[in-house]
A and B are shown apart, each in its own frame.
Chain A
Amino acid sequence: GNSVTQMEGPVTLSEEAFLTINCTYTATGYPSLFWYVQYPGEGLQLLLKATKADDKGSNKGFEATYRKETTSFHLEKGSVQVSDSAVYFCALPSINDYKLSFGAGTTVTVRA
């Protein structure tokens, strides 16, 4: 079935540093790809998504491009802030059995 492999953390950065979190996927067909974010003490919320190859999802300064050739969907932000401290999950739906597959999550801490 469909699955994702996500770079594990934790990742600690200084404010204004560049952030990359790697995500690669295995899938039948070309499902939508998602990045979710979980702020401390909260549930997951959708950060961005891409629905087809070469699509770029973006939100809150974060970007990720759906790369069919490398089966990747890496998350990037050019200048992180303390408020970006959170756990980030890569995810994709399973076309045939209705399940969502999540990566293990990457904990990001941004220091002032």
Chain B
Amino acid sequence: NAGVTQTPKFRILKIGQSMTLQCTQDMNHNYMYWYRQDPGMGLKLIYYSVGAGITDKGEVPNGYNVSRSTTEDFPLRLELAAPSQTSVYFCASSLPGAQGGNTEAFFGQGTRLTVV
């Protein structure tokens, strides 16, 4: 199984450029997430989605946008890239849990983004 697939793996952007990080999962998971991980730091939630057509902000949404037109895909859009967005970005997905929460998450391999 492919699981969660992210593209590209690496990217260098110039300040002010825009790009879309792609994420697709083949596990029919309802929930999908975007996290960023800065060097030596933990994970910060950017956006999440509980199903197609539904998205919501996480802890650090500024400078990013998402859409969820299908269950499988959850792209993350960076508009006007800034050096502060240099980070490793992880997409993840999960199923709902029995009590209305979620179960374990499956992660992609990450996209390493540098803004110069």
Contacts and interface: CB of A to CB of B under 8 A. Distances in A.
Contacts of B106: 46
Nearest to A106: B42
A105 B41 CA distance: 7
A105 B88 CA distance: 15
B99 A29 contact: yes
Given A89-B43, A98-B31, A100-B33, A49 B104 contact: yes
A105 to B, nearest CB: 5
A94 B105 CA distance: 12
Interface stretch (A14-22, A37-45, A69-77): A37-45
Contacts of B50: 98
A36 B58 CA distance: 20
A89 B42 contact: yes
B49 to A, nearest CB: 9
B105 to A, nearest CB: 6
22 contacts: A31-B97, A31-B99, A31-B101, A34-B104, A46-B105, A46-B106, A49-B104, A91-B105, A93-B101, A94-B101, A95-B100, A98-B101, A99-B33, A99-B45, A99-B48, A99-B58, A100-B94, A100-B102, A103-B42, A104-B42, A105-B42, A107-B40
